[in-house]
Structures are given as C-alpha cells and as structure tokens.
Amino acid sequence: MESFIPILFASIVGFQHAFEADHLVAVSSIVSKRNNSYLAIKDGIYWGLGHTSTILLIGMLILVGKFALSEQVFTYLEAVVGAMLIGLGMYRLGVLFIFRHSHQHLVDENDNHHLAYSVGAVHGLAGSGAMILLVVTEIKETMLSLMYLSIFGVGSIVGMLIAAGLFSLPFSKNFTQYRIIHLSLSVLSSLLCVMVGGLIVYKNIYG
C-alpha cells in the first residue's frame, strides 16, 4: 500500500514540473508566434506529449530492459537542452528581425505542432534521469514505477497546456493589433530563452 502513496502525488509533481524555468521559456518562445490561444494550448499539449513519450521510453529501457545509463550522459543531455533553447531563441529573433516590417509573418496560424512536440521530447530525454532515479528510490515494483511515470506525464501535460494558454494571452488578437507590444514581448521571450539556455550549457559543461 505504501508504494501507491507516491503515485497519488505523481500528477501534482508532474504539474509542478511543467512550470520549471527552462520549460516556461521554451513554451513562451513557441507560443509567441501564435495569435490564437487554441493553437497555443495545443502547442502546450504536444510539448507535454513529447516530454512524456521520451520519459516513458527511457523509463522502460532502464526499468524493464535493465539498460544502464551513466549520470554523465544525462549531464550532456541537459547541455543539449540548453543548446536547443539558445537555438530556439536565436531563430525566433532572426524571424522577428527579418520580418519586422510585415506583421503577418510574425504569427503562425498553421495547425502544426511538430516543433512543440520535439522541444518537449528533448526536455523529457534530459530530465528522465533524475525522474527515474526518484521513482526507483521511492517505488520498488516495475509496473508501479511505469504507472508513476505515466501519471506524472499526464500532470505535466495539464501543467504545460495551462502555461501555454496563459503565455498566449498577450499574443492574442486583442493585443496583436498593437504591433509594438507583440514585437517587444516576442523579443523578450526569445532573449530569455537564449539566456536560460546559456546558463544551462555553462552549468552542465563548465559548472
């Protein structure tokens, strides 16, 4: 019965996990190109699905396949996340600079969420090490561990869809008519993405 206690809190832990700084700057940069909250929320859901899929994949390899990965591997994967954030922010800044005189290019109304899924998947790949270590420490049964990771994933999906929805509000059509506000917030979110990414790379490579 005690093994079920951590599982009861898995969704709460997953929900809180979605609001970590590197996750928030990534999703804010992604939704800054949306002027439709519905599409932004779907970005959040796809981020959560990508995040959950890689955590479950690594979890099954380690818990079921008994596949061993050193802590150093996950350190490098964290650095990859940082590099990805830098690239994401720089790319967005480049788009804003090139199309700064054409508002229609600053927003994306395509129902395509590959970027959000990919970013979430890379985050999950890097964060799976600490998560699986926590699960193995708290829960001894393999199936219960996988159940924890699944419920944790559901919590992270809910958390990120809420975060994406909230971040999308300043970029909605009510605000995008004020071009300077939209442009300023887009630049700010991109710069934060680059800064947080740089700190992550430094911490995991030189820290």
CB count within 10 Å of CB 205 equals 13
For the cut 90, the answer to whether the pLDDT of residue 183 exceeds it is: no
Distance, C-alpha 72 to centroid of its chain: 21
Rounded to whole angstroms, how far apart are CA atoms 83 and 79? 6
Q: What are phi and psi of 108, to 5 degrees?
A: -130, 115
Is 80 exceeded by the pLDDT of residue 17? Answer: yes
Three-class SS state of 110: coil
Is residue 68 predicted with pLDDT exceeding 80? no
Task: Look at residue 99 in the predicted model and tell me its pLDDT.
Answer: 67
pLDDT surpasses 80 at 104:
no
Q: What span, in angstroms and rounded, lies between the C-alpha atoms of 118 and 56?
A: 15
Q: What average pLDDT does this structure show over 147-166?
A: 92
Sign of CA dihedral 162, 164, 169, 172: negative
**Overall average pLDDT of the 9-18 stretch:** 88
Calculate the average pLDDT of the chain. Answer: 84
Residue 178 structure tokens: 């004020």
- CB of 171 within 8 A of CB of 182? yes
What tokens appear for 176 in the block? 């995008």
- Indicate if the pLDDT at residue 83 is higher than 90: yes
Q: What is the pLDDT of residue 2?
A: 55
